[in-house]
Amino acid sequence: MRLNIPYTDLRELEEIAKVLKTGFFTQGPKVAEFEGLVAQLVGSRYAFATSSCTTALHLALVALGIGPGDEVLVADFTFPATANVVVQLGAVPVLVDIRLDTFTIDPDDLRARITPRSRAIIPVHAFGCSADMEPILEIARQHHLAVLEDAACAIGTTYHGRYCGSMGTLGAFSFHPRKVITTGEGGMITTDDETLAERIRLLRSHGGVRSGYWYEYEAAGFNYRLSDILGAMGVAQMEKLPRLIERKRLLAAGLKQRLAGIAGLSLPVEPAWGGHIYQSFVVMVDEGIDRDRMVADLRALDIETTLGTYALHDQPFFQRTYGYSSGQLPHSHAAFRRSLTLPLYPQMEEHDLDFLVEGIKKVLY
């Protein structure tokens, strides 16, 4: 049993075939169509497809003018890319602890870590669950900070009815194969800010502006474009998004029902603000249970599992470079040591859920 299997069918092939017939393979009309669909869903004025979520995050920070001497407050429990892009700009990632119920940034710890050098906040919408955005946005307003939503796992996630990627200054999405929809590799930036949109548009493609038959290069930009082949795949995937989210929520409910009452596990919660899409189904094992041994034992039963994600302050680079020590952010540290991601993908059936739960019982007891 795989951890995740992307859902594709003939629609992706149909859309890709249209691009192949044109001979126009780089960023083009299918990317623009994909961008329009994401902007319409999220409710943002602008959307810009990029080669990955990492390049989306990097480009968004560049557009904000983040650079050496700046501090960016980053949720500690996340894939390293969220903080790596800050480091690559010469700025300092200030790591912030999480709340264990939602695995998202703790507004109280966030408030305590702001300094005069703070410039931006990157809350992470973890595993398809939105961060608690109201207090985060209030803190940002009080301290005049930009908010870059890391919505890598959160296409279609809502917070009190508002879509992730529409609440902060900018949002960044991923279309990696482990996400609810995928283009293989790919990302997207969303924003309502016209000035930032113009900057992103310029920098995404080498910093060039067309003048007659060629370009004038007004900035040292990047090649962060998405190909039209992948854009075509994104168009087909966006058609499926509502059904895929509905299916994942249904499967998550069935898995919760089967796991309820099993000693040693804490199940994911539906937060007070709703909108969880269960991009990943992440449980916590109790203290004293060897999570890593569970992963090995489950794989021996042909069930692929993995950790939730990483506590950045526990990683050698951030300890060596910024002086963090293991356990300094206790909730993130606990999640790193004890979180377990279980298989959950739309093609699963009732018997797959039964097989998964029986496997968990075997390795626990």
Catalytic residue IDs? 179
d(CA 221, CA 120): 22
Q: Which residues are 172's β-sheet partners? A: 150, 189
What is the edge-to-edge ordering of all strands in the sheet holding 265-266? Answer: 265-266, 281-285, 339-342
In terms of DSSP H, where are the helices of 1-119? 10-22, 29-42, 53-64, 81-88, 107-112
Q: Tokens at residue 46, please?
A: 């602008």
d(CA 7, CA 41): 20
- Output phi, psi for 223, to 5 deg: -105, 85
DSSP assignments along 117-174, one per residue: TEEEEE-B-GGG----HHHHHHHHHHHT-EEEEE-TT-TT-EETTEETTSSSSEEEEE
122 near 82, Cβ under 8 Å? Answer: yes
340 near 285, Cβ under 8 Å? Answer: yes
353 near 254, Cβ under 8 Å? Answer: yes
Q: Tokens at residue 210, please?
A: 């067309």
Residue 101 C-alpha from the chain's centroid: 18
Half-sphere exposure of 304 (CA within 13 A, CB side): 9
